[in-house]
Amino acid sequence: MAELVQMEGIDKRFPGVHALKSVSFDLRAGEVHALMGENGAGKSTLMKILSGVYHPDDGRILIDGAEVALPTPRAAQELGIGIIHQELALMRDLTVAQNIFIGREPRLSFGRLDEDRLNADAAAIFTAMHIPMDPRTPVEGLTIARQQMVEIAKALSHRSRVLIMDEPTAALNDAEIAELFTIIRKLKAEGVGIIYISHKMDEIKRISDRVTVMRDGAYVGTVEAADTPISKIISMMVGRELTDEVAAIPDLSGAEIALEVSHLSRGHELKDISFSLKKGEILGFAGLMGAGRTELARAIFGAEPADHCEIRIHGKPVQIRTPADAVREGIGYLSEDRKHFGLALGMDVRANIAMASLPRYADRLGRINEAELGRVAQDYIQTLSIRTPGDAQEVRLLSGGNQQKVVVAKWLLRDCDILIFDEPTRGIDVGAKAEIYRLLNELAASGKAIIVISSELPEVLRLSQRIAVMCEGRLTGILPGGASQEDIMALATKREGMAAE
């Protein structure tokens, strides 16, 4: 079969990261080619290069055997490469047809829009897709699945021969997934090549012809989907390295339980989750993107309260409806998105460290004892070795690792003894990571109870004394520290109702 797309020796570096290491990938007309790998393996970067968003530092791209340049997303579109992002990018207030032809509206004289032709053209695409859809419907009223159909129609309207789908089923239910797969099969039959990015093993087996696995920015291998067992694909994704760094597991049998969560549920996102956390323990939460780990953390912290949940802290039942409740009970949450949820970037280090504890440093008039606060801030700058010229430095000028330490200092000052770290090393360079790990270990050793949510398995393994694994809003299991990556991945992909392998 002819190679529709060939990517050869693609290399890409970002400051501090070698994102793609001479990666090769090919796509045939009329096939579904799954692209797999852990978060951060380089799938998205590779696809952004194919869709003209990023430019490779090295390597070449061939379409129909001819080398092409993809300087802009527009150029990729014109060559027939369409991408459907995980986050749908539709304008909610416009109609289906208006969305499909945005920027390319058919016109009459004097710049008037030809709405009739717009709607007719859109209708023609849906007819070809065999989907009943009224092009005049506002997108706002459509389900996520229907919106995805609109995205696909939009891509097809560019006469796409290559369709990249990034986690297309993340927000779909089973019936909707079946409908999507019907469309994918039709597109296949018409000779469209589809690159399918997903973490869900059962889907990969159902829909794809070949599977390519990437790891740490490198190409691992390509296998036929039909005759490769899931366990083989998982071991390709995980690799074997990095098993040397495993958490030391102290004896915590005598330690008291700091946090106990029972039957926590919220909507469709979190389903009946129960676990407990001891003083001095680091409990890792592993899982794939969208497994509900951040949602769980935010529910425990009261940022988006759970519908139902029993929480005990140091054995005492508590009600947590707001972050203020959680903080009063000694829970601190360190968001993966420090810039939006953790720091007031335009304010200085001292104000950020004091953010959760201000009233304690104020007199009856509300006057802040700046001298005392300055001293305390200096203390934390020293003990956590925050690299800053001083406590009057605006935090936006600090590096990621030092910003993270400022947030840690904020919670330590507030006397929080249960700390939830959500992706503690995201956006932090390699050198600073080790320092954050050491800090976490020291905090645990000093009796803090710590939850670490991380999408990087080596990180979870390196830190956690126990590993909780989530999939699609459920806690699928808790493994002892040092569990194998294969076991974790098996639990992380264990979908509800999926037949046991």
Closer residue to another protein (CB): 297 or 457 = 297
CA 213 vs CA 291, 342, 479: distances in Å:
21, 35, 25
Interaction of residue 489 with another protein, rule CB under 8 A: no
Contact of 302 with 328, CB cutoff 8 Å:
no
User: Cβ-count burial of 253 within 10 angstroms (0-12 exposed, 13-18 middle, 19+ buried)?
Assistant: exposed
Per-residue binder mask for another protein (CB under 8 A), 346-375, x = binder: xx---x--xxx-xx--x--xxxx-x-----
Residue 223: helix, strand or coil by DSSP? strand
Decide: is 16 part of the binding site for another protein (CB under 8 A): no
Closer to another protein by Cβ: residue 366 or 497 = 366
- Tell me: does residue 328 bind another protein (CB under 8 A): yes
The DSSP 8-state label assigned to residue 454 in this structure reads: -
- 103 contacts 96 by C-beta, under 8 angstroms: no
**Is residue 333 a contact point for another protein (CB under 8 A)?**
yes
Least spacing, CB of residue 392 vs another protein, in Å: 7
Q: How far is the CB of 342 from another protein (least distance, A)?
A: 6
Q: Is 424 in the site for another protein (CB under 8 A)?
A: no
Regarding 322 and contact with another protein (CB under 8 A), the answer is yes
Per CB under 8 A, 152 contacts another protein: no
Task: Compare residues 197 and 297 and give the one whose CB is closer to another protein.
Answer: 297
What count of other Cβ atoms lies within 10 Å of the Cβ of residue 185? 13
Which residues in the 183-212 window bind another protein by CB under 8 A?
A: none
| Cβ-based nearer residue to another protein, 328 or 375 | 328
Q: Which amino acid is at 399?
A: S
- Interface with another protein, residue 326, by CB under 8 A: yes
Cα atoms found within 13 Å of the Cα of residue 159, Cβ hemisphere only: 2
Interacting span for another protein (CB under 8 A) from 64-72, 158-166, 216-224, 386-394: 386-394
Q: Where are the beta strands (DSSP E) in 119-256?
A: 162-166, 193-197, 210-215, 218-224
Map the footprint of another protein across residues 270-309, applying CB under 8 A.
301, 303
Cα gap 497→173, rounded to integer Å = 13
Q: Which of 243, 199, 96 is nearest to 491 (CA)?
A: 199
394: contact with another protein by CB under 8 A: yes
Does residue 42 touch another protein according to CB under 8 A?
A: no
CA end-to-end span of the chain = 33
Min dist. Cβ of residue 55 to another protein (A): 23
Measured from the CB atom, is 146 or 360 closer to another protein? 360
Long-range contacts of 233-237 (CB under 8 A, 24+ apart): 233/36, 233/201, 233/204, 234/201, 234/486, 234/489, 234/490, 234/493, 235/486, 237/36, 237/37, 237/38, 237/41, 237/213, 237/489
Interface with another protein by CB under 8 A: which range of 123-131, 306-314, 339-347, 420-428?
339-347
Quote the tokens at residue 24: 């090769």
Part of the chain binding another protein (CB under 8 A), chosen from 19-27, 199-207, 327-335, 456-464: 327-335
Residues interacting with another protein, by CB under 8 A?
301, 303, 322-324, 326-328, 333, 335, 340-347, 351, 354-356, 358-359, 362, 365-368, 370, 388-390, 392-394, 397-398, 410, 414
